[in-house]
């Protein structure tokens, strides 16, 4: 089989572009539906959780202690309604501290 990697790259770029462009083209007006707005409000938090939770389960060198520390710190910061960036930075700092000193 003779596969051309450039065709694969172009198809992936096209699909990625369509996924990002279609919402802008299809919704030109302000979204007033409260259910859609509440759904869109939680998308950043869901994406962050989907990206970080698998990394917690496969925590680096120190086993699960560093991942668990970061997870607990993130839960506490999120419960206290800190911003998304603050939660992520605090969790990273907790993992860093546990890996360095324990």
pTM attached to this predicted model: 0.57
pLDDT value of residue 71: 87
pLDDT value of residue 60: 61
pLDDT value of residue 36: 87
pLDDT value of residue 90: 94
Q: Which residues of the chain have pLDDT under 50?
A: none
Q: What angle do CA 23, 34, 19 make, to 5 degrees?
A: 15
Radius of gyration of the chain (CA): 19
Instruction: Tell me which long-range contacts 23-31 makes (C-beta under 8 A, separation of at least 24).
Output: none
pLDDT value of residue 61: 63
- Domain ranges for the chain: 5-101
* Alpha-carbon distances, residue 8 vs 1, 19, 37, 55, 86 (angstroms): 14, 17, 35, 28, 38
């Amino acid at each position: 089989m003779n596969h051309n990697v450039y065709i694969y790259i172009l198809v992936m770029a096209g699909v990625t572009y369509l996924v990002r462009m279609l919402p802008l083209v299809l919704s030109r007006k302000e979204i007033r539906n409260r259910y859609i707005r509440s759904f869109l409000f939680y998308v950043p938090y869901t994406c962050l959780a989907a990206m970080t939770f698998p990394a917690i389960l496969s925590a680096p060198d120190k086993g699960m202690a560093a991942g668990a520390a970061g997870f607990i710190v993130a839960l506490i910061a999120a419960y206290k309604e800190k911003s998304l960036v603050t939660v992520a930075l605090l969790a990273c700092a907790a993992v860093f501290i546990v890996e360095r000193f324990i």
